[in-house]
Amino acid sequence: MIKTAILTISDKGSRGERIDGTGPAIRSQLEDKGYIISYYKMIPDEISEIESELIYLCDELKVDLILTNGGTGFSERDVTPEATKNVIEKYVPGIGETMRMKSLQITPKAMLSRSIAGIRKKTLIINLPGSPKGAVENLQFVLPAIPHGVAILIGEASECATSN
């Protein structure tokens, strides 16, 4: 069981001006696969708040996986990748690269995504797009590798495992 947090980054959502459709869509995808959603929160596009929340989830709650959604585009307020970069200890480029590569098969706009992934302590953090469709598609692209990556982080598997 992978202890997971979902963090929706949205100015309008955090002010109650928009209902979050993306967080619940991510939750549905994960619960169907046995993930434990232990935390969900919606916060504004404020770099300091995003950083604080990520640090809290990694250092205090010690979740295995954090999936952010929103704040990965070109807008001036889109700062999720920057906040993530500021708190991670290791960058995991293959996750963002895979999401963009696979998404490009669906839309040329995928090349505009700035989503990243990285590790802080024993937590994997992945930035997903803000739209429900984009977030679910991108999650499906990387989900097959997540259990093994998390197992390595928490010491339940080695990097040289032979299973797929």
CATH of the domain at 46: 3.40.980.10
Q: Would residue 145 count as lying in a domain?
A: no
User: Is residue 158 over pLDDT 90?
Assistant: no
Write b or e for each residue in 141-151: b if 16 or more Cβ atoms lie within 10 A of its Cβ, otherwise e. bbeeebbebbe
pTM of the predicted structure, to 2 decimals: 0.95
Q: Would residue 101 count as lying in a domain?
A: no
pLDDT at 159: 73
Give percent of the chain with pLDDT exceeding 90.
Answer: 93
Q: Would residue 3 count as lying in a domain?
A: yes
User: Is residue 164 over pLDDT 60?
Assistant: no
Query: In sequence order, which residues have a C-beta less than 8 Å from that of residue 127 and are 6 or more positions away?
Result: 68, 69, 71, 72, 80, 81, 84, 96, 114, 115, 116, 117
Q: Would residue 69 count as lying in a domain?
A: no
Number of domains in the chain: 1
Q: Would residue 115 count as lying in a domain?
A: yes
CA distance 76 to 160: 42
